[in-house]
Amino acid sequence: MVVAGRFSLPGSCYTGTMPISLAYSVDADDAFMFHALRAGDVDTRGLAFTHRRGDTSELNALALAGEIDVVAISAGAYPAVAGKYLLLPHGASVGRGFGPVLVARQPMALAELAGRRVGIPGLSTTAWLVLRQMQPGLLPVVVPIAPFGRIFECLDAGSIDAALLIHEGRLIYQSRGYARIAEIGQWWQATTGLPLPLGVNVIRRGLGAETIAAVSAVLRDSIAYALDHRDEVIRVLAAEKRGEPALAETALLDRYLGMYANQDTRAMAPDVRRAIEVLFERAAKGGLLPAGCPIDWAP
């Protein structure tokens, strides 16, 4: 276990452990990249991280309130919080020809869902932002991702006509007998020629440049540790109880993390940065987001 060092701001009388609040989702890729911080496997440079986990919609709301120092949010939620947060250049979840999936109990065309109820993980999620570009006129019903199985229960009960699945849900819907209606990442890549930026990490501007740089370096180290000790971290994540037996299968975790916790997570590639710009531009053109969102990057 690494012992945290002392943190000192030049010109300040403060020396000691500086608290940094961190919030991220219940899914495996977020747990993967922040594992080393929780386990004490990286030098925190005198920063004391507190950990809070929640569903995607809740995290987007926390960032909107500006209450947390570092938050893992939906890429599509960033314009609403850009005044308070910088984008971090690491920690992204990116779909390269894949992404969230829209499923139903029976096969149907996407156009058939116009005017019908679709269960979504949150109104501020990237998945919903892109799906509205694919098919206007859908009626959203917010179904939080925790507990994990709730979206399937709603689908089976008929309270929704289709379900927009993010995180590990996209890997198990076939085993439950659901039909895929649309693959969001495939549509995005075919339309834009770019990967789909789904999740990003943001850091509060009010921390100041020096602290932001220090926090960013620690988070980068945590991600690097997980990627360099991948099998070890997967075994730890498999032992977590998340209310769904399939989520504890190492084979599923390995596949899922291969999709969403990889070199795109280690560092934001140029095409991903461009994809974020295009995501906001297209959404603004369609009246789904305000135009002119500033995209400011932390070091």
What residues are annotated to the active site?
167
SS3 115: coil
With a CB cutoff of 8 Å and minimum separation 6, the contacts of 42 are 2, 36, 218, 221, 222, 225
**Partners of 103 in beta bridges:** 163, 180
Rounded to an integer, what distance in angstroms lies between the CA atom of residue 7 and that of residue 9?
Answer: 7
Is residue 196 a contact partner of residue 215, using CB atoms and an 8 Å limit? no
Is residue 161 a contact partner of residue 118, using CB atoms and an 8 Å limit? yes
Rounded to an integer, what distance in angstroms lies between the CA atom of residue 171 and that of residue 117?
Answer: 22
- Type of residue found at 175: S
How many Cβ atoms are within 10 Å of 258's Cβ, its own excluded?
Answer: 10
- Type of residue found at 289: L
Is residue 221 a contact partner of residue 42, using CB atoms and an 8 Å limit? yes
